[in-house]
Amino acid sequence: MADTVIALLVAYLLLAYVALPLAWRHFEHHPAMTDAPKTTYTRDGIPGDPLNIAVVGSKAEVVGAMHAAGWFPADETTLRSSLHIAESTMLKRAYATAPVSNLYVWDRPQDLAFEQPVEENARQRHHVRFWQSDKLGMGGRPLWIGAATFDRSVGVSHLTGKVTHHIAADIDSERDHVIDTLTQAGQLVEMFQVTGVGTTLDGRNGGGDRYFTDGELTTGVLSPGNVVLREAPTVLANPAGVQAKNDAMSQLRPLLK
């Protein structure tokens, strides 16, 4: 009986809120993002994690804002750092700056990567990769488009057989976590959303991990010079149809996990 009720609820929400708003694509707050990439790719050209976040600011401002928000820059992937992360995972030793694997946008690996460990080892962590684009910038400041996901465990890729981190399915929560930490640190002047990968209820990344998302890409404009702001950032509203979709996804999220 409970399974039937859940199935009916999911069907209703999909029909009433997701199916119609799915067609909405909006870039009114930053038209330059219309043709921006929507997902990362692996070295082999396999679609990776969706691009779900962006910040506007200089490189120094991005680094300063993430540091103020409690994030660590990830080490480059070398033999030494690879051995260190393996030691951290197996022996449960802290490694707050563990490297992240390379994903690609505009045919290049991430320009910056940051993480927040949640245990005393590198098995689980919040992390985000960023790629710089002057073309997509605002007010003479570059835009850094990114992919934020949560590493829930270490295992074998479902697609390649390589050892990798597996991500948690709810990538919207990780996107919101990054934005929340920047907001709490007083680093955001303004915040808005544009269409990213689009509503996805059963996506797969380059490692074969499942994900779901409302498909929005949240952009935060950083405080110039990393001046700490006392007031909350200005949040630009979404169109009614997009907001209805996002509200429906918030109701669906507990059922999709």
Cβ pair 103, 48 in contact under 8 A: yes
Span 155-168, average pLDDT = 55
Residues 204 and 215 in one domain: yes
User: How many Å apart are CA 3 and CA 14, to the nearest integer?
Assistant: 16
Whole-number pLDDT of residue 245: 81
Same domain flag for 15 and 104: no
First to last CA, the chain: 20
Name the residue among 151, 94, 106 with its Cα closest to residue 128: 151
Phi, psi dihedrals of residue 114, rounded to the nearest 5°: -135, 155
- pLDDT tens digits, 24-77: 789 999 999 999 999 999 998 999 999 999 999 999 999 999 999 999 998 675
218 contacts: CB under 8 Å, gap ≥ 6: 52, 53, 54, 175, 176, 179, 191, 192, 193
18 and 111 assigned to the same domain: no
Q: At what angle do helices 240-256 and 171-184 cross, to 10 degrees?
A: 110
Q: Write the single-letter amino acid at 50.
A: P
Query: What is the reported pLDDT for 207?
Result: 81
Q: State how many domains the chain has.
A: 2
Distance of CA 10 to the CA centre of its chain: 25
Q: Pairing relation of β-strands 53-56 and 216-222?
A: parallel
Rounded Cα–Cα distance for residues 14 and 248 (Å): 8
pLDDT at 109 over 90: yes
| pLDDT for res 254 | 85
Measured CA to CA, the distance from residue 38 to residue 106 in angstroms comes to: 11
* Domain enclosing residue 246, as ranges: 1-24+239-257
Q: Strand, coil or helix: what is 8?
A: helix
109 and 161 belong to one structural domain: yes
Residues 232 and 255 in one domain: no
CA distance 198 to 91: 40
Same-domain check for residues 64 and 109: yes
**Is the pLDDT reported for residue 163 higher than 50?**
no
Q: Are 2 and 120 part of one and the same domain?
A: no
- Indicate whether 20 and 33 sit together in one domain: no
Contact 93, 52 (CB under 8 A): no
Residue 95 clears pLDDT 60, i.e. is over it: no
Assigned token pair, 73: 């820059």
Task: Measure the CA–CA gap between 166 and 185, rounded to whole angstroms.
Answer: 28
Give the per-residue pLDDT at 22: 59
- Cα–Cα distance, 157 to 19 (Å, whole number): 31
Co-location of 220 and 246 in the same domain = no
Mean pLDDT of 101-117: 95
- Same domain assignment for residues 121 and 3: no
Does residue 116 sit in the same domain as residue 225? Answer: yes
Say what the pLDDT of residue 92 is: 54
Produce one character per residue of 196-235: b if its CB has 16 or more CB atoms within 10 Å, e if not.
bbbbbeebebbbebebbbbbbbbbbbbbeebeeeeeebee
Q: Let me know whether 74 and 10 are in one domain.
A: no
Q: What is the pLDDT of residues 196-246, one digit of tens each?
A: 999 888 899 988 899 999 999 999 999 999 999 999 999 999 998 888 888
Confidence of residue 257 (pLDDT cuts 50, 70, 90): confident
On average, the pLDDT of the chain sits at 84
